[in-house]
């Protein structure tokens, strides 16, 4: 006797992830605004350190509730190291960069993460890159070069250190890319919540001494503390939970696309709350970067030819 077929998913079920997708994009887009507000008074290292410390405290009860502490305890070495690569170093670099670049420009540079991810996976994991994806990589890096070339001409940069700040952003995205391949090789099969919580703990441990050394002499104001709390709880803790839910419900490729939408929110927040300039050149280069990234990750590809049946 044949078992009854499972009911087809409804349109509501298929699109239920859209709300979480938009919420996650808005949270990660807001992280650049909160980093600017926090780093202006705390400084870059304390901002990054407090972010991961508070995120760890926020995620820890969820880890215990889900019973995943034994998982983290078994795999603590690679998970803690992942936190240094994926959070401690890039968070510190971005916290310094937003003091010298507009938050919108910083977010556009962050959209290059999948570009570097494809290159690192090709070099480290021997992942094949077809010609169309190579074209996307080239296009994305051309967009970055054009953005850097015209950056001093009118994107509202904050200091003469803008070039170094752009380099810091790209180094941070490279760290994210290395961390992604590292996770695929060494963290496969580990529960996502254990990885998220443990990586934030590793980042907090890695930044503990630098944070203490660079702690500001004058106590930051309430606005800076609120920004740190927001970036830790909303943009790190809750965002991690949403991200893993999105991977489960919509797939990894759609979750990756959050990187492309987050700059839209970051540009909006920067223009509204910080009076940052948004120029046509900046938007055009951002579009080139996003198109190149989508090509390089396979999100834009040639449609597969239909195969004859039988």
For residue 85, the model assigns a pLDDT of 95
Q: Rounded mean pLDDT of 212-226?
A: 96
Query: What percent of the chain has a predicted confidence (pLDDT) above 70?
Result: 83
pLDDT band at 135 (very low <50, low <70, confident <90, very high): confident
Q: Burial of 210 by CB count in 10 Å (0-12 exposed, 13-18 middle, 19+ buried)?
A: middle
For residue 303, the model assigns a pLDDT of 54
Higher pLDDT among residues 222 and 148, named by residue: 222
What's the rounded Cα separation, in Å, for the pair 178 and 122? 11
Higher pLDDT among residues 6 and 220, named by residue: 220
Higher pLDDT among residues 255 and 58, named by residue: 58
What's the rounded Cα separation, in Å, for the pair 188 and 177? 16
Instruction: Yes or no: say if 194 and 75 are a contact pair by the CB < 8 Å rule.
Output: yes
pLDDT of 146 above 90: no
pLDDT in tens, 267-298: 889 889 988 887 888 788 888 888 887 777 66
Query: What percent of the chain has a predicted confidence (pLDDT) above 90?
Result: 42
Higher pLDDT among residues 45 and 146, named by residue: 45
Distance of alpha carbon 267 from the chain centroid: 16
pTM of the model as a whole: 0.83
For residue 154, the model assigns a pLDDT of 39
pLDDT, the chain, mean: 83
pLDDT band at 152 (very low <50, low <70, confident <90, very high): very low
Task: Quickly list H helices, the chain.
Answer: 11-14, 17-42, 44-65, 69-74, 76-83, 89-97, 103-110, 113-124, 131-150, 162-186, 192-213, 222-232, 239-250, 252-256, 258-273, 280-296
Higher pLDDT among residues 22 and 42, named by residue: 42
pLDDT in tens, 31-72: 999 999 999 999 999 999 999 999 999 999 999 999 999 999
pLDDT of 17 above 90: no
For residue 69, the model assigns a pLDDT of 95
pLDDT of 14 above 70: no
pLDDT of 1 above 50: no
Closest among 277, 73, 35 to 165, alpha carbons compared: 35
pLDDT band at 248 (very low <50, low <70, confident <90, very high): low
Instruction: Yes or no: say if 270 and 104 are a contact pair by the CB < 8 Å rule.
Output: yes
For residue 127, the model assigns a pLDDT of 79
pLDDT of 155 above 50: no
Higher pLDDT among residues 131 and 48, named by residue: 48
pLDDT band at 21 (very low <50, low <70, confident <90, very high): confident
Highest mean pLDDT among 18-22, 99-103, 128-132: 99-103
pLDDT in tens, 291-303: 887 777 666 665 5
For residue 4, the model assigns a pLDDT of 44
- Domain range annotation of the chain: 18-213+221-296
């Amino acid at each position: 006797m044949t078992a009854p077929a499972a009911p087809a998913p409804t349109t509501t079920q298929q699109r239920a992830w859209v709300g979480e997708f938009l919420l996650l994009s808005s949270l990660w887009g807001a992280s650049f605004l909160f980093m600017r507000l926090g780093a202006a008074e705390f400084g870059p290292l304390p901002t990054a350190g407090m972010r991961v410390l508070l995120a760890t405290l926020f995620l820890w009860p969820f880890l215990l509730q889900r019973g995943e502490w034994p998982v983290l305890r078994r795999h603590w070495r690679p998970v803690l190291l992942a936190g240094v690569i994926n959070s401690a170093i890039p968070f510190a670099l971005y916290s310094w960069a937003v003091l010298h670049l507009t938050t919108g420009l910083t977010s556009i540079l962050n959209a290059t993460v999948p570009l570097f991810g494809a290159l690192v996976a090709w070099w480290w994991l021997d992942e094949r890159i077809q010609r169309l994806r190579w074209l996307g990589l080239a296009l994305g890096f051309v967009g970055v070069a054009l953005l850097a070339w015209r950056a001093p001409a009118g994107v509202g940069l904050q200091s003469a250190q803008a070039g170094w700040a752009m380099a810091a952003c790209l180094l941070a995205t490279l760290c994210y890319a290395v961390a992604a391949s590292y996770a695929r090789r060494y963290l496969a099969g580990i529960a996502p919540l254990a990885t998220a919580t443990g990586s934030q703990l590793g980042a907090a441990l890695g930044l503990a001494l630098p944070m203490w050394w660079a702690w500001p002499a004058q106590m930051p104001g309430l606005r800076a503390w609120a920004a740190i709390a927001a970036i830790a709880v909303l943009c790190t803790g809750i965002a991690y939970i949403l991200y893993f839910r999105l991977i489960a419900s919509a797939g990894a490729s759609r979750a990756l696309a959050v990187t492309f939408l987050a700059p839209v929110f970051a540009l909006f927040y920067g223009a509204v709350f910080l009076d940052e300039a948004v120029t046509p050149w900046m938007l055009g280069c951002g579009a080139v970067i996003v198109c190149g990234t989508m090509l390089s990750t396979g999100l834009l590809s040639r449609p597969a030819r239909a195969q004859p049946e039988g």
